[in-house]
Amino acid sequence: MAEGESLTQICRGDEMPNRVTVYRWLEGNKDFREQYARAREAMMDFYADLIREIAFDESGDIVLEQKGDKTVAVANHAKVQRDKLKVDTLKWTMSKLFGRQYGDKANAAALDAPPSDMVIRWQRPEDVIDAPTRIERVIVDPKVSDLMASIDGRTRSAYPEGQTKAPETPVQQPPAQLTHNPTPPPADLSPRLWSAMGRVSDLIEQICPSDEAESVPEEIFGKIETFLRAHYLGSAAA
């Protein structure tokens, strides 16, 4: 067993007892039980060395394959996974059989902790209070005065003296909209003529000197009149 053989493998030998006989010896023979425990612990040390050998054994991890005219080296994933299974199996066995030494820290601390006492208390039937079988929730609409009285011990109004209700919030009016109301043309002028006269008036304001704002427009309209008479009535009329 110290060489890594399990109890089943040992009992398969021709001159070895069966498992039932070994278990009977363990139950009735203290010395044999202690020897068996030491052999089990030695087997865990053997497993630890075996895990290290498997992990550092790189033989067979790379295999050569022929691809056409070339020989390429590829990873042997089957061997890697098989070695991983061996290591995981040995680690699991060690953690279960010797958790204090090979288990995780949480399990080891739990195994080393001293056993705690279990306390059982009996309760007398007369000390048991019947639990309510139904719970109802009633929502009441209280008055403001009742709420004030419950807060400071006296009744007072929630509004200033002489006021019986909350002040009304003024309604905000929308801002005034900007509108455009153009000046209507005279009754004897069409909109087209009125628009043309407006363009002429704007042109006069743009080119007229500011210090001659009163005399220049009259002069310009005089020239326009002279031009119109000469153009439509002839030079004699001008």
In a domain? residue 51: yes
Mean pLDDT of the chain: 75
Number of domains comprising the chain: 2
In a domain? residue 64: yes
pTM of the model: 0.40
Do both 108 and 196 map to the same domain?
A: no
Q: Over 80: is that where the pLDDT of 19 sits?
A: yes
In a domain? residue 40: yes
Do both 16 and 103 map to the same domain?
A: yes
Do both 13 and 108 map to the same domain?
A: yes
Collapsing DSSP to helix, strand or coil, 71 comes out as strand
In a domain? residue 164: no
In a domain? residue 133: no
What stretches of the chain adopt beta strand conformation (E)? 62-67, 70-75
pLDDT in tens, 86-144: 999 998 888 888 877 777 765 555 555 566 666 666 666 555 555 555 666 655 555 65
CA 28 to chain centre: 63
Among residues 83, 112, 141, the one where a domain terminates is 112
Among residues 77, 112, 147, the one where a domain terminates is 112
In a domain? residue 105: yes
Contact 213, 221 (CB under 8 A): no
Among residues 112, 130, 157, the one where a domain terminates is 112
Through-space distance between the first and last CA atoms of the chain, rounded to whole angstroms: 143
Write the burial class of residue 102 (CB in 10 Å: 0-12 exposed, 13-18 middle, 19+ buried): buried
Give the domain CATH number at 106.
Answer: 1.10.10.60
Rounded to whole angstroms, the Cα distance separating 13 from 93 reads 23
List residues bridging with 74 in a β-sheet: 63
Per-residue confidence band for 84, with pLDDT thresholds at 50, 70 and 90: very high
Per-residue confidence band for 237, with pLDDT thresholds at 50, 70 and 90: very low
Could you tell me the residue range of the domain that residue 214 belongs to? 191-232
